[in-house]
Amino acid sequence: MIPHPLRGALVGAGDVTENHLRAWQHIPAVSISAIADPNLVRARARAEQFGIANTFADLAALLDANLALDFVDIASPPQLHCEQTALAAARGLHVLCQKPFATNLAEARAMIETCRRARVTLCINENWRWRAWYRAIKRMVTEGKIGKPIYLRFFCHGAFWVPEVKAARRDWLEALGRGLFYDLGIHYVDVARFLLGAPETIYARLARVHPDLVGEDRALVTLTFGDSTALIDLSSSSYAPYGHPNRQTTVVEDFRIEGDAGTLALIPDPVRGDLLRVTTTTDETETRAYEGEPYAAYLQSFIAAQSHFVECLRAGRAPETAGADNFNTFAAMLAAYRSMELNAVVRIQDFIAENLRARRPE
């Protein structure tokens, strides 16, 4: 348990770190004392933006500065997460790690074991399940508002990688040979797990439309959860009128979850405001999915996820998105690529067992 004010350091200074740091500003008795990034120009610019005094070229140098830290917020590319987590855990520091939290299951398992042995917390910053509308939907599903869930669907088609609109390059994705589903689809897998439980099987059709990309920019993925089915339909190379990447107009996904007594639906609407529609056997209602501006609602999910991490450190309990839990989200996401290679349904637990066995040293 950590009753005193918390001091942390940020590892990485890329685009997403602006959201991390804005969220930390909203959490009482937490301060970020330093930033480490090999691009010192970028690190210093981010530090100046948020009034952070210390910048370093790497995490090892930051740790050697003895800044009396309690945790590190790792927001670097996933290729670096395993090594950086080990460095932090060796100093007794708790770890909040950006998704995806590794590049393969063996690395993910090693990170979990390293933190367990060091008796420090490993929490994955999976902020999407902390979006206010999904928390509300989870409550309604748990309360039986729509009866037994049968079908869940995410539909998000936008122009994120259409070159005339925005060249959203992800160097770390290119190095992994991955694309949309690795970067964005993992969020949808985690929300589906949050709402429906543990997925059993996955079938994926992934494709590349944009000729300059290495990885996929379209994904059509089906997961089964016992008697329930989830469909994740994503594109980042569509000439859509609006979509998730355009946070100036809408922030919710086109989403629905159907039960045997009703349906809950998110409706992106840049004119009226994003909506939550509840249709049951007796009535239908529409309410705003959130109050205020879209970016503020988007940022609130980071605030909620990072506040939860802090609360768990202070209470000495495991986070909802602890490494051991998010391992299952990560495994399901990776299993989609195996399904694509085989053009077959993959049982996720079999994929986990086979993958870890194949990487176990002789």
Domains of the chain and CATH, by start: 6-120 (3.40.50.720), 129-294 (3.30.360.10)
pLDDT of residue 141: 97
Check if the beta carbon of residue 266 is closer than 8 Å to that of residue 254: yes
Percentage of the chain beyond pLDDT 90 is 80
Q: Is 267 helix (H, G, I), strand (E, B) or coil?
A: strand
Q: What is the pLDDT of residues 94-123, one digit of tens each?
A: 999 999 999 999 999 999 999 999 999 999
pLDDT at 247: 42
Q: What is the pLDDT of residue 164?
A: 57
Q: Pick the closest to residue 157 from 209, 196, 223, 212 (CA basis).
A: 209
What's the pLDDT at 269? 84
Token pair in block for residue 310: 């802090």
Q: What is the pLDDT of residues 252-287, one digit of tens each?
A: 989 999 999 999 999 988 778 899 999 998 999 999
Identify whether the C-beta of residue 216 lies closer than 8 Å to the C-beta of residue 234: no
Mean pLDDT by 10 residues, the chain (362 residues): 85 95 97 97 97 97 96 97 98 97 96 98 97 97 97 89 59 88 96 98 95 90 97 88 52 94 93 92 94 91 98 96 98 98 98 82 42
pLDDT number for residue 238: 84
- Give dist(CA 72, CA 94) in Å, integer: 6
CB atoms under 10 Å from CB of 348, counted, come to: 23
CA distance 337 to 26: 38
pLDDT of amino acid 123: 98
Tell me the β-bridge partners of 223: 202, 230
| Calpha distance 299→55 (Å, rounded) | 24
pLDDT number for residue 158: 81
What pLDDT score does 355 carry? 87
Distance CA 195, CA 65 (A): 43
